């Protein structure tokens, strides 16, 4: 990462009453840039009004990757829960250890280190979706979504400073996700090696990069 911060063009999507939705198109990679209508991050879709639902349906969305726990999905059901495009890939389970008293980086690190198979499943859920846009969401669209999106962007060759800038758009501290990416690099040798060691195949990761960048 360079010492200078760069400004990126944010592509917010108006999905009433969601408040943290954006298309990640235009982020530069080592081979080009992320293409439009390929990867969208969002907060909880149960907030969608009829106008919001219409805005979603106006796009060619092939999969909704919902990272919330089963309890959250039951309490705040997604309007797409009965839709074949919806896939629940919970990163936290109600039976997991309570980490609510830890700082964000430590929470993220535990998720990366102790529940790596879940994280890899979330990333591969983007890779094996049918052609079209993939929406990744959790509750606020910041933490769980932020981790999965950061790893996906890093795998695709987006510079770390721009990954951090996107993360910070969700009213978060850029330093948190930079620390996490540094941890992945130092402990696992980088995002690609981390995902391969967590159950993702080389073919799936290559497909993911291709669908986002070509």
> For residue 3, is pLDDT > 50?
no
**How confident is the model over 70-103, as pLDDT tens digits?**
999 999 999 999 999 999 999 999 889 899 899 9
Residue 135: beta bridge partners? 40, 64
> What's the rounded mean pLDDT across residues 122-142?
97
Name all domains of the chain by residue range, CATH numbers in brackets: 11-213 (3.90.190.10)
**How confident is the model over 112-126, as pLDDT tens digits?**
999 999 999 999 999
| Helix ranges (DSSP H) in 128-190 | 144-155, 160-168, 174-188
- For 92, 161, 181, 213, the CA distances from 1, given in Å and listed in that order, are 30, 6, 11, 21
Taking the C-alpha atoms of residue 170 and residue 122, their distance in angstroms, rounded to an integer, is 20
3-state class of 199 per DSSP? Answer: coil
Residue 4: predicted pLDDT: 46
At residue 10 the predicted structure's pLDDT band, cuts being 50, 70 and 90, is: low
Structure tokens at 44: 């909880």
**How confident is the model over 28-49, as pLDDT tens digits?**
999 899 999 999 999 999 999 9
**Residues in CB range of 138: below 8 A, 6 or more apart:** 43, 44, 66, 67, 68, 91, 144, 145
Q: How big is the CA angle at 192 (ends 189 and 197), to the nearest 5 degrees? A: 80
> What's the rounded mean pLDDT across residues 132-150?
98
> What's the rounded mean pLDDT across residues 141-152?
98
Instruction: Check residue 205 and report its DSSP letter.
Output: H
- The count of other CB atoms within 10 Å of the CB of residue 30 is 10
Instruction: Check residue 45 and report its DSSP letter.
Output: G
**Residues in CB range of 41: below 8 A, 6 or more apart:** 20, 21, 22, 24, 135, 136, 137, 141, 145, 149
pTM for the model stands at 0.95
Residue 77: predicted pLDDT: 98
- Portion of the chain with pLDDT greater than 70, in percent: 95
- Residue pair 40/60 in contact (Cβ under 8 Å)? The answer is no
Q: Of 214 and 6, which is predicted with more confidence?
A: 214
Taking the C-alpha atoms of residue 3 and residue 161, their distance in angstroms, rounded to an integer, is 9
> What's the rounded mean pLDDT across residues 55-63?
97
- Residue pair 12/33 in contact (Cβ under 8 Å)? The answer is no
Structure tokens at 135: 């929406």
Residue 98: predicted pLDDT: 92
Q: Which H helix or E strand runs over 135?
A: strand 133-137
Structure tokens at 107: 């929470």
At residue 11 the predicted structure's pLDDT band, cuts being 50, 70 and 90, is: confident
> For residue 2, is pLDDT > 50?
no
**How confident is the model over 173-211, as pLDDT tens digits?**
999 999 999 999 999 999 999 999 999 999 999 999 999
């Amino acid at each position: 990462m360079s010492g200078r911060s760069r400004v990126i063009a944010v592509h917010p999507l108006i999905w009433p009453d969601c408040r943290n939705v954006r298309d990640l198109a235009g982020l530069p990679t080592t081979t080009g840039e992320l293409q439009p209508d390929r990867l969208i991050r969002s907060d909880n879709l149960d907030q969608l009004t009829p106008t919001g639902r219409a805005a979603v349906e106006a796009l060619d969305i092939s999969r909704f990757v919902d990272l919330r726990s089963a309890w959250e999905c039951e309490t705040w059901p997604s309007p797409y829960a009965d839709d074949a495009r919806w896939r629940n890939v919970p990163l936290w389970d109600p039976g997991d250890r309570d980490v609510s008293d830890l700082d964000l980086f430590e929470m993220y690190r535990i998720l990366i280190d102790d529940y790596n198979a879940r994280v890899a499943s979330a990333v591969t859920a983007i890779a094996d979706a049918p052609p079209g846009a993939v929406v990744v969401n959790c509750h606020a669209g910041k933490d769980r979504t932020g981790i999965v999106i950061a790893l996906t962007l890093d795998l695709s060759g987006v510079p770390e400073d721009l990954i951090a800038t996107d993360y910070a758009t969700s009213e978060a501290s850029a330093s948190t996700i930079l620390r996490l990416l540094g941890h992945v690099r130092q402990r696992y040798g980088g995002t690609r090696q981390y995902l391969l060691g967590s159950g993702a195949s080389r073919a799936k990761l290559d497909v993911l990069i291709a669908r986002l960048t070509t």
